[in-house]
């Protein structure tokens, strides 16, 4: 599957339906949920009724071989409100982690529990970060120990998690914990902790700057007991993974973890969310600048107002292309060896902050007060340079990849070519093709006109 920007009919329809939902349901409710910092249950119900809140919907989008359905959906949803958007898609982040680690039976068991059904909605959380270790996942201190020796022995989890979306109110918590201290971050595993399990304590709901419609909490795990089958992937897979990790430690090699793999997959998804906020702010500021008059003319007539907006429109499109490319790579199974997922998240989150700040500036005093949504978008956008890896962490990933890929050509030259040997011999720009064109041109006086016309038809660029 090649990288193609043309949407399919289904993608076009998905973007249109999502935009309509954002415009008619999310936007009108956004300011109120932001002010009250309340979880938007009625909006989730409406999302579920419209088919935007179900495991099959997200598996379908993740499975799209073009990779574009998921970022298109995210951008339109978060164009409405990032806080409400996060409340809607949080289970999809947990589902993505389950999908990478779980056995097919576990997936079947837990995926429906992450979403529920309209009228009986459920929530899911992905609990990785800890008070002492957000960026540094090697520093995680939550521990899981077996209570006994047999393969059916329960696991006991002790630890402390911080900033967990849907934490404490979720029906399913996907929790990572260290199971082998000597192996450090390589010795971690993912567990399912159902909501209401004794020992799972919501210490507090966090009071946030932005994205306030989403629920974020501090959690404690006090001797939380879960059965053996709640270890994602199962005991055999864990033992195999730990054995490989031991070999890697002994051989001094670097290796990833299930947690890091999850982030790599989800970064373009998060980038697309930031693009939704950025686009909303750019549209709003442009519309305002066209309408607002100062010194007898619309303020957009001043290049001091219009040029920054032009730069942002360019940067948003560049970030979208990075995001769609990374998403296409994820869907095509192309390894992100140059940090392409991190590039998309870095570019999109930073442009979202710049655009929302510029939107306030463009609107002057009106931008600074809550009569307009741009101050909220500014607060919402800031989260995107922090979670799913801070901007600094994205730069570390990209610069490490730069070093590792030193001397290699860019991705488009490095990828396996399509088109087969005939294309390699006679495709556009090949010496054979140039030679044929030159020969035909040289014979133009001797070759009959119809034959010449036919030959040039084959060689000339196709008309649109
Ligand atoms: C609203 C919200 C929702 C969240 N949701 C979730 C969730 O659902 N699940 C979850 O598990 N986590 C979640 N997080 C946690 C989030 O992923 C972390 O906050 C983030 O990874 C940063 O970790 P930290 O806060 O510990 O900062 P730190 O890691 O302490 O970093 C502090 C600063 O130091 C910088 N820094 C750290 N190391 C380096 C380095 N080597 N080089 C240069 N700079 C460095 C960072 O970039 C940052 O600027 C959420 C956070 C927020 C705010």
User: Which pLDDT tens digit goes with each residue over 35-68?
Assistant: 999 999 999 999 999 999 999 999 999 999 999 9
Per-residue confidence (pLDDT) for residue 260, from 0 to 100:
47
Per-residue confidence (pLDDT) for residue 341, from 0 to 100:
95
Query: Which atom of ligand 1 is least distant from the CA of 210?
Result: 1
Percent of the chain with pLDDT over 70: 95
In a domain, 238, yes or no: yes
The answer to whether residues 409 and 263 belong to one domain is yes
> What's the CA-to-centroid distance between 208 and ligand 1, angstroms?
14
Q: What's the mean pLDDT when you consider all of the chain?
A: 93
Q: How many domains is the chain partitioned into structurally?
A: 2
Banded pLDDT at 268 (limits 50, 70, 90): very high
Q: Which residues are catalytic?
A: 388
From residue 319, alpha-carbon distances to 16, 21, 267, 309 in Å are 21, 24, 13, 15
Token readout for 15 is: 């973007």
Q: What digits encode the pLDDT tens for the residues 92-141?
A: 999 999 998 999 999 999 999 999 999 999 999 999 999 998 888 888 99
In a domain, 172, yes or no: yes
pTM for the full predicted model: 0.94
Cα separation, 215 vs 212, whole angstroms? 7
User: Do residues 99 and 63 touch, judged by C-beta distance below 8 A?
Assistant: no
Banded pLDDT at 444 (limits 50, 70, 90): confident
Ligand 1: residue of 185, 208, 390, 393 to mutate (most ligand atoms within 8 A of CB) is: 390
Per-residue confidence (pLDDT) for residue 365, from 0 to 100:
98
In a domain, 139, yes or no: yes
Is the beta carbon of 349 within 6 A of some atom in ligand 1?
no
Predicted confidence (pLDDT) at residue 206 exceeds the cutoff of 70: yes
Cα dihedral: 110, 113, 116, 120 (round 10): 160
In a domain, 308, yes or no: yes
Per-residue confidence (pLDDT) for residue 455, from 0 to 100:
76
The answer to whether residues 247 and 366 belong to one domain is no
Predicted confidence (pLDDT) at residue 198 exceeds the cutoff of 50: yes
Q: Give Rg (Cα) of the chain.
A: 26
The answer to whether residues 346 and 364 belong to one domain is yes
The answer to whether residues 270 and 405 belong to one domain is yes
Banded pLDDT at 262 (limits 50, 70, 90): low
The average pLDDT across 361-389 equals 97
Per-residue confidence (pLDDT) for residue 74, from 0 to 100:
98
202, 223, 251 — which closes off a domain? 251
Is the beta carbon of 164 within 6 A of some atom in ligand 1?
yes
Q: For ligand 1, atom 23, which residue shows the shortest CA distance?
A: 134
Query: Which atom of ligand 1 is least distant from the CA of 388?
Result: 17
Q: What is the CATH number of the domain that holds 276?
A: 1.20.140.10
> What's the CA-to-centroid distance between 356 and ligand 1, angstroms?
21
197, 228, 251 — which closes off a domain? 251
In a domain, 201, yes or no: yes
> What's the CA-to-centroid distance between 23 and ligand 1, angstroms?
31
Is the beta carbon of 91 within 6 A of some atom in ligand 1?
no
Per-residue confidence (pLDDT) for residue 251, from 0 to 100:
77
Per-residue confidence (pLDDT) for residue 119, from 0 to 100:
96
> What's the CA-to-centroid distance between 386 and ligand 1, angstroms?
6
Is the beta carbon of 39 within 6 A of some atom in ligand 1?
no
The answer to whether residues 186 and 278 belong to one domain is no
Positive or negative, the Cα torsion across 225, 199, 110, 167?
Answer: negative
**What count of Cα atoms within 13 Å lies in the side-chain half-sphere of residue 425?**
3
232, 251, 270 — which closes off a domain? 251
Is the beta carbon of 216 within 6 A of some atom in ligand 1?
yes
Token readout for 68 is: 């574009």
193: three-class secondary structure by DSSP: strand
The answer to whether residues 294 and 388 belong to one domain is yes
In a domain, 58, yes or no: no
Ligand 1: residue of 85, 89, 129 to mutate (most ligand atoms within 8 A of CB) is: 129
**What count of Cα atoms within 13 Å lies in the side-chain half-sphere of residue 257?**
20
The answer to whether residues 391 and 280 belong to one domain is yes
Q: For ligand 1, atom 31, which residue shows the shortest CA distance?
A: 135
Is the beta carbon of 206 within 6 A of some atom in ligand 1?
no
Range of the domain at 400: 259-416
pLDDT: which is higher, 197 or 462: 197
Is the beta carbon of 208 within 6 A of some atom in ligand 1?
yes
The answer to whether residues 210 and 323 belong to one domain is no
Per-residue confidence (pLDDT) for residue 165, from 0 to 100:
98
Q: What is the CATH number of the domain that holds 173?
A: 2.40.110.10
Is the beta carbon of 187 within 6 A of some atom in ligand 1?
no
Q: What digits encode the pLDDT tens for the residues 2-24?
A: 888 999 999 999 999 999 999 99
The answer to whether residues 344 and 238 belong to one domain is no
Banded pLDDT at 197 (limits 50, 70, 90): very high
The answer to whether residues 272 and 218 belong to one domain is no
From the number of C-beta atoms within 10 Å of its C-beta (0-12, 13-18, 19+), residue 451 rates as: exposed
Predicted confidence (pLDDT) at residue 256 exceeds the cutoff of 90: no
User: Do residues 127 and 176 touch, judged by C-beta distance below 8 A?
Assistant: yes
User: Do residues 323 and 275 touch, judged by C-beta distance below 8 A?
Assistant: yes
The answer to whether residues 155 and 281 belong to one domain is no
Bridge partners of 193, per DSSP, are: 173
The average pLDDT across 251-280 equals 76
Other beta carbons less than 10 A from residue 22's beta carbon: 22
The average pLDDT across 239-263 equals 71
Other beta carbons less than 10 A from residue 422's beta carbon: 8
Predicted confidence (pLDDT) at residue 257 exceeds the cutoff of 70: no
Per-residue confidence (pLDDT) for residue 242, from 0 to 100:
93
The answer to whether residues 275 and 361 belong to one domain is yes
Query: Which atom of ligand 1 is least distant from the CA of 135?
Result: 29
Per-residue confidence (pLDDT) for residue 272, from 0 to 100:
98
Per-residue confidence (pLDDT) for residue 265, from 0 to 100:
67
119: three-class secondary structure by DSSP: coil
Banded pLDDT at 259 (limits 50, 70, 90): very low
The average pLDDT across 170-175 equals 98
């Amino acid at each position: 599957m090649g990288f193609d920007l043309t949407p399919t009919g289904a993608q076009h329809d998905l973007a249109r339906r999502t935009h309509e939902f954002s415009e008619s349901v999310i936007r009108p409710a956004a300011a109120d949920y932001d002010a009250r910092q309340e979880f938007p249950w009625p909006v989730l119900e409406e999302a579920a009724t419209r088919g935007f809140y179900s495991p099959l919907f997200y598996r379908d989008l993740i499975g799209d071989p073009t990779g574009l359905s998921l970022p298109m959906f995210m951008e339109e949803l978060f164009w409405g409100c990032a806080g409400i958007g996060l409340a809607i898609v949080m289970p999809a982040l947990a589902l993505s982690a389950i999908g990478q680690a779980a056995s097919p039976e576990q997936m079947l068991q837990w995926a429906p529990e992450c979403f529920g059904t309209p009228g009986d909605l459920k929530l899911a959380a992905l609990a990785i970060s800890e008070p002492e270790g957000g960026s540094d996942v090697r520093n995680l201190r939550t521990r899981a120990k077996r209570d006994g020796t047999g393969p059916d022995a329960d696991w006991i989890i002790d630890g402390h998690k911080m900033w967990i979306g849907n934490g404490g109110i979720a029906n399913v918590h996907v929790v990572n914990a260290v199971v082998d201290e000597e192996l450090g971050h390589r010795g971690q595993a993912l567990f399912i902790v159902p909501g209401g399990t004794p020992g799972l304590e919501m210490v507090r709901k966090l009071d946030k700057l932005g994205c306030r419609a989403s629920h974020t909490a501090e959690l404690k795990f006090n001797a939380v007991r879960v059965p053996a089958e709640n270890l994602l992937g199962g005991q055999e897979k864990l033992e195999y993974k730990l054995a490989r990790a031991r070999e890697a430690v002994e051989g001094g090699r670097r290796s990833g973890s299930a947690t890091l793999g999850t982030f790599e997959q989800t970064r373009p998804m998060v980038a697309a969310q930031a693009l939704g906020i950025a686009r909303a702010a750019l549209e709003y500021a442009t519309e305002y600048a066209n309408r607002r008059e100062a010194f007898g003319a619309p303020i957009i007539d001043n290049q001091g107002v219009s040029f920054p907006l032009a730069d942002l429109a360019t940067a948003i499109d560049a970030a979208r292309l990075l995001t769609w490319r990374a998403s296409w790579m994820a869907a095509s199974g192309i390894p992100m060896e140059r940090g392409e997922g991190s590039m998309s998240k870095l570019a999109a989150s930073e442009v979202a902050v710049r655009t929302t700040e510029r939107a306030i500036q463009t609107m002057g005093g009106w931008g600074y007060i809550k009569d307009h949504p741009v101050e909220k978008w500014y607060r919402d956008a800031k989260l995107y340079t922090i979670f799913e890896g801070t901007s600094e962490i994205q730069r570390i990933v990209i610069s490490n990849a730069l070093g590792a890929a030193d001397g290699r050509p860019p991705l488009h030259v490095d990828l396996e070519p399509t088109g087969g040997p005939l294309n390699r011999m006679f495709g556009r720009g090949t010496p054979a093709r140039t030679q044929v064109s030159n020969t035909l041109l040289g014979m133009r006086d001797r070759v009959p006109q119809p034959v010449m016309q036919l030959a040039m038809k084959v060689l000339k660029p196709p008309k649109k």
